[in-house]
Amino acid sequence: MIAWINFISIVVSALICLYFYVKSASPAALEKKIGKIAYRKCTGYRIISSIFMTVACVNYVLYYFYPLPMNLSQTFPWGWWISALIATFIAIPGGYLWGKGMKDAGEETMIVKNEHTLYGGIYKKIRHPQAAGEITFWWVIAFFLNSPFLALFSFIWIPIFYMMCWAEEKDLIIRYGKEYLEYRRNTGFIIPKRNIILKK
């Protein structure tokens, strides 16, 4: 019973996280309806989204102790240390992208502001470094927990993060118009465009 409650909590938390992040990523559209207070509301939505993402992380750990009763091995067919090495191998580039994206975005990572401009740094190469890095950590957790089920389940985060990024871009077009469209043409989604690489 606990295993099913925990699993349902993972799914529900992921969906609530998506719902509130999409709301948080639409301040320009919301501003047209309610004015400048939209940015403060969107900051609140982003905090709620982060809370439910944290809940999903906790549910991942609980799954280790309360796995679903199914015909799937509870662990990978190799020692835990191999899973830990795989997790570390994923975490290094993922952590770099996530950390660099947060550094270059500054407090806008959590606090939605009207006055910020388009980011520099790593954002000159890819448009969504934080999403590209953050999504990898679901597999990091899964491998550290040595769980085949969680490694498979983590693919649910791919469409979730894609929808988050899509919502951000939709609102950024409203905020910046042609400037953002030009930036989007010249910058890769999560992989640098070839012409950017050749200029280096």
The ranges assigned to domains in the chain are 2-199
**For all residues of the chain together, what is the average pLDDT?**
91
pLDDT of 198 > 70? The answer is: no
Q: Which residue has the tokens 């938390």?
A: 13
* 112: DSSP letter: -
Helix (H) or strand (E) holding 174: helix 157-176
When pLDDT is cut at 50, 70 and 90, the band that residue 195 belongs to is: low
Confidence band, pLDDT 50/70/90 cuts, at residue 108: confident
Question: What pLDDT, on a 0 to 100 scale, did the predictor assign at position 59?
Answer: 97
Interatomic CA distance for residues 38 and 57, integer angstroms: 29
Reference 167, options 10, 4, 23; nearest CA is 23
Confidence of residue 120 (pLDDT cuts 50, 70, 90): confident
The two structure tokens encoding residue 79: 């020692």
- pLDDT greater than 80 at residue 47: yes
pLDDT above 70: residue 197: no
Banded pLDDT at 199 (limits 50, 70, 90): very low
CATH of 2-199 given 1.10.260.40, 1.10.1740.10, 3.40.50.150, 1.20.120.1630 = 1.20.120.1630
The pLDDT value recorded for residue 95 is 96
Which pLDDT score is estimated for 72?
85
Could you give the CA distance from residue 197 to residue 140 in angstroms, rounded to a whole number?
Answer: 28
Cα 87 to Cα 37, 82, 154: the distances in Å are 41, 9, 13
Whole-number pLDDT of residue 200: 45
Q: What is the pLDDT of residues 151-186, one digit of tens each?
A: 999 999 999 999 999 999 999 999 889 999 999 999
Report how far residue 183's alpha carbon sits from residue 123's, in angstroms, rounded to the nearest whole number: 10
